[in-house]
Structure 1
Amino acid sequence: MSGLRDNMGTTRRWVGMLASGIVMLLAALTVVTVGSAGAMADTAARDRPASDSAMAQVAAMQPGWNLGNSLDATGSDETSWGNPRITEALLDNVRAQGFNSIRIPVTWGQHQGPAPNHTIDAAYLNRVKEVVDWALADGFHVMINIHHDSWQWIANMPADRAGVLARYNAIWKQLATTFRNSSPRLVFESVNEPQFTGSSGDAQNAALLHELNTSFHRIVRESGGNNATRLLVLPTLHTSADQARVDELVATFDALGDPHLAATVHYYGYWPFSVNVAGGTRFDATAQKDLTDAFDRVHNAFVARGIPVILGEYGLLGFDRHTGTIQQGEKLKFFEALGYHARVRKITTMLWDNGQHFQRTGFRWNDPELFAQIKSSWTTRSGTASSDQVFSARGAAVTDKTLTLNLNGTSFVGLRHGATDLVRGRDYTVQGDRLTLTASALTRLSGSRAYGTNAVLHARFSRGVPWRIDLITHDTPILRSTTGTTNSFAIPTDFRGDRLATMEARYADGSNAGPHNWTSYKEFDRAFAPDYTAGVTTLTSDFFAEVKDGSRVTLTFHYWSGTTVTYYVTKSGTSVTGTTA
């Protein structure tokens, strides 16, 4: 995935330290002599996977992390998409976060010579090997692949089967030779998110991908050395978990009959929730079922038959813009559930990170709360709640507020404000899964009741991470009339403590306006975006590009407090007028 891959993807699809200890123990047991012979035996033991089983090796890879938007960048070098040059220190720090495997996506096409040899530039190949060797030295299991080539030129296979196959094969022949004797902890993935342009349909797509996967398999196995039994990872079409795509890959596994194979799919969530469009603001029952259904399908098709599955990428599609596209509490519930359902289905997960999560020079998490939830999900469940926000209107008397607890198999322990435990029965009550904050506690904790977050509470459970609850004072936001252009239009907005969830757009006849005209609810950050610091709500050029000229559009802004505000915009050529009435 990348910013570019994200846009394409949205149109096509709605353990840990123990493993390291085992490897160290094996190393110690192999030391039968001293001196150079002992050192050689120690190195050989460290390089062996935890066992000869593909299932055991993939289990030892949990959890994993993606070094995205670096060596897979399609520009002239690894910095062309804005990330810094990869360093040993970065890999050391990623390893220290608890990751046992690293996926290193690589795009080769711009570093590849012409036919017939399609020679990879030596300096680039050496750079990839340098990074791989650093990761192996850190103790990672490492997965490399052919990445954005999938849509750049491999997608042309329906029209140029022989040419694409020759170029693809040339890459894997060179990689198989280069890494022939590398540690068995190095894993090869045949191709990222395979797709085909202009094919005749599913049958041809399946046949072409089968040809790529089996050709990859043959080339690597015939190269010998550690490649004879190296773990090879095969994707479904689009790395989709849809049943038809899964069934196609099952047929390839059946044909190959190789015990040293793993399957891979990607998961970015139920699409309306993943990008916040069509009213998909919450990780609701529909979004939850999409997740569990996807994981059930790959488990039943592969894991239940002894074929390991690697979730080669996971996240939310809106994250490629910024992680604020999806509301914080809803995204935390998504990642908590994903980690749990992958764990119980024995699916190894590899977090997609193109630089938006872990700082590549500062070596810190941009959202520590999010990472804490992800890390906790590797080993246990955490309790959550129906929301992480409790709103009280400043223009009205404070009243009791109730949240529904999602216990997720835990038990509720208590509620804390800073270092102070709140008093059950006085400050809050719990009846079943209903947590009620009393009016007296809300009044005390909210102080002068300035707009915004007045206090932060944490609900604590018997396991996992606490659930943060923001106590927010708000009043109905005030939007003001303004003018602008289709390229620059910002509605002056006094948010008054509230937070924008989504926006609807309709013409006077009730039909839907703007992009995604099958829904009235527009895509967060693509069509509209709040700027709480600047005090404006922006409508984008993408939104106005699909608004009829001369028509007045009724906008309905939905805020997380439950408040709605109506606003009107009229487009005339490149000019836009916004009014409150």
Structure 2
Amino acid sequence: MGNSLETPTEGAWGGKKIDAADFTRIAKAGFNTIRLPVRWSTRAGTDAPHTIDPIFMKRVKQVVADARSAGLNVILNSHHFEEIHKDPSDANIAKLAAMWTQVAAQFADAPEAHLWFEIENEPHDKFNDSNLLKVLTPALVEIRKTNPTRPVIIGGEFWSGINSLKTLNLPDDPNIVPTFHYYDPFNFTHQGASWVDPSPPLGRTYGGAEDQKLLKDDVQKVREYIARTGKTPFMGEFGAHTTASLDERVKYQKAVRVAFDEIGIGMCAWAYTNTFPLWDHEKKAWVPGMRDAMGLKE
């Protein structure tokens, strides 16, 4: 559910405000899970105990309830806590833990099979393997006080790209689920993206011999991770920006989904609507070809 609750205000960056009809539509299309990115950090107090705005908390709870009412599983995360990526200091680590203390308590009664937590999206910058467990463990400790066995998702450094699995260290906790995000080849998926500097040039197509080899090699990396750790990771994001042609986007979406489906990887696409859309909220229609690409009936 990108560009909704993780934006500075709900629906900014060209997104839309979520309503219950979205979840009815998503479930009817055949999806079973939504990932809900939430920017808690700008809605929490500056000083301890970093109290989250109760109106915003109520809004998130309503969105989760609407998704669950539609029969969807929910992955609830912390997204864009920008300060902790730039400065993984004790103060920011304490703020992350304080936010999760509140979030975990609010959702403690939700069925564990249908609501998972994700402590922080895409570690990057100064938040990396060298301090990953130091940053995340205090939040996990707080989560476990009220949610002792709920699945909790953790991703690695460098924006949780697939290569982060090779060096990802996880806490000693049987209910941790590793994750990775997949936007490779980046010069295809992010061509012309305004927020990337330098932005990859437009016109890159997908599916040549080099692309096929990369995808095969990347699937093998996940096979090796599963064999080495006994844990099956979750693909939290994948997709291609609308600056690629629709035909190329659909081709990419299907190739990636099929390849990782074959080894049993669950996945969420980025995103429901906006810059990597499956749903066109202006035309009020599923983007042609995208449901088929995701393995669903058109």
TM-score by length of 2: 0.87
Superposed displacement of residue 117, structure 1: 1.1
SS for the counterpart of 1:351 is coil
The 8 Å contact of residues 69 and 78 in structure 1, kept in 2 or not, is answered as: yes
SS for the counterpart of 1:264 is strand
Q: Deviation digits for residues 218-252 of structure 1, max 9, x if unmatched? A: 221122xxx1111111111111111xx21332x32
Q: Which residue does the alignment assign to 1:349?
A: 267
Superposed displacement of residue 328, structure 1: 4.2
Where do residues 120-131 of structure 1 align in structure 2 (5 Å cutoff)? 120-131=52-63
- Is 1:171 the counterpart of 2:99 in the alignment? yes
Q: 1:330 to 1:88 in 2, by over 3 A?
A: closer
Q: Which residue does the alignment assign to 1:285?
A: 209
- Is 1:154 the counterpart of 2:99 in the alignment? no
Where do residues 132-531 of structure 1 align in structure 2 (5 Å cutoff)? 132-149=64-81, 152-158=82-88, 161-184=89-112, 185-197=114-126, 205-223=128-146, 227-237=147-157, 238-242=159-163, 245-249=164-168, 251-252=169-170, 255-256=171-172, 258-276=173-191, 277=200, 280-302=204-226, 305-316=229-240, 319=241, 323=242, 325-353=243-271, 354-355=273-274, 356-360=277-281, 363-365=284-286, 367-375=287-295
Superposed displacement of residue 107, structure 1: 0.5
Superposed displacement of residue 139, structure 1: 1.4
Alpha-carbon separation, structure 2, partners of 1:179 and 1:259? 20
SS for the counterpart of 1:127 is helix
Letter in 2 for 1:129: K
Alpha-carbon separation, structure 2, partners of 1:275 and 1:130? 33
The 8 Å contact of residues 232 and 265 in structure 2, kept in 1 or not, is answered as: yes
Letter in 2 for 1:175: V
Where do residues 38-187 of structure 1 align in structure 2 (5 Å cutoff)? 67-74=1-8, 77-149=9-81, 152-158=82-88, 161-184=89-112, 185-187=114-116
Superposed displacement of residue 68, structure 1: 0.6
Letter in 1 for 2:214: D
The 8 Å contact of residues 70 and 79 in structure 1, kept in 2 or not, is answered as: yes
Alpha-carbon separation, structure 2, partners of 1:157 and 1:124? 25
Letter in 2 for 1:228: P
Alpha-carbon separation, structure 1, partners of 2:283 and 2:138? 42
Q: Which residue does the alignment assign to 1:473?
A: none
Q: Which residue does the alignment assign to 2:196?
A: none
The 8 Å contact of residues 267 and 314 in structure 1, kept in 2 or not, is answered as: yes
Q: 1:289 to 1:214 in 2, by over 3 A?
A: farther
Letter in 2 for 1:281: T
Alpha-carbon separation, structure 2, partners of 1:115 and 1:373? 46
SS for the counterpart of 1:228 is coil
Larger Rg belongs to: 1
Letter in 1 for 2:86: N
Alpha-carbon separation, structure 2, partners of 1:303 and 1:106? 33
Letter in 1 for 2:91: G
Superposed displacement of residue 144, structure 1: 0.7
Alpha-carbon separation, structure 2, partners of 1:281 and 1:315? 14
Superposed displacement of residue 300, structure 1: 1.8
Instruction: Report which of the two has the higher share of strand.
Output: 1
Instruction: Report which of the two has the higher share of helix.
Output: 2
The 8 Å contact of residues 257 and 293 in structure 2, kept in 1 or not, is answered as: no
Alpha-carbon separation, structure 2, partners of 1:302 and 1:210? 21
For structure 2, the residue ranges without an aligned partner over 5 or more in a row are 192-199
Letter in 2 for 1:335: Q
Q: Deviation digits for residues 167-209 of structure 1, max 9, x if unmatched? A: 1111111111111111211100111111134x7xxxxx31321
Alpha-carbon separation, structure 1, partners of 2:290 and 2:72? 23
Superposed displacement of residue 217, structure 1: 2.3
Superposed displacement of residue 292, structure 1: 2.4
Superposed displacement of residue 363, structure 1: 4.3
Letter in 2 for 1:358: W
Alpha-carbon separation, structure 2, partners of 1:345 and 1:241? 15
Q: 1:187 to 1:97 in 2, by over 3 A?
A: same
The 8 Å contact of residues 156 and 164 in structure 1, kept in 2 or not, is answered as: no
The higher relative CO (CA closer than 8 Å, separation ≥ 6) is in: 2
Superposed displacement of residue 310, structure 1: 1.2
Alpha-carbon separation, structure 2, partners of 1:139 and 1:359? 22
Superposed displacement of residue 79, structure 1: 2.8
Alpha-carbon separation, structure 2, partners of 1:229 and 1:68? 27
Letter in 1 for 2:167: E
Alpha-carbon separation, structure 2, partners of 1:248 and 1:162? 23
Identity of aligned residues (%): 29
Letter in 1 for 2:119: S
Alpha-carbon separation, structure 1, partners of 2:70 and 2:62? 13
Superposed displacement of residue 281, structure 1: 2.8
Letter in 1 for 2:22: L
Superposed displacement of residue 359, structure 1: 3.3
The 8 Å contact of residues 339 and 374 in structure 1, kept in 2 or not, is answered as: yes
Alpha-carbon separation, structure 1, partners of 2:57 and 2:181? 26
Superposed displacement of residue 142, structure 1: 0.3
The 8 Å contact of residues 187 and 230 in structure 1, kept in 2 or not, is answered as: yes
Q: 1:187 to 1:363 in 2, by over 3 A?
A: farther
Q: Deviation digits for residues 323-350 of structure 1, max 9, x if unmatched? A: 2x32444333322221111111111110
The 8 Å contact of residues 119 and 152 in structure 2, kept in 1 or not, is answered as: yes
For structure 1, the residue ranges without an aligned partner over 5 or more in a row are 1-66, 200-204, 379-464, 466-581
Q: Quote the RMSD (CA, aligned, Å).
A: 2.3
The 8 Å contact of residues 154 and 196 in structure 1, kept in 2 or not, is answered as: no
Q: Deviation digits for residues 382-436 of structure 1, max 9, x if unmatched? A: xxxxxxxxxxxxxxxxxxxxxxxxxxxxxxxxxxxxxxxxxxxxxxxxxxxxxxx
SS for the counterpart of 1:349 is coil
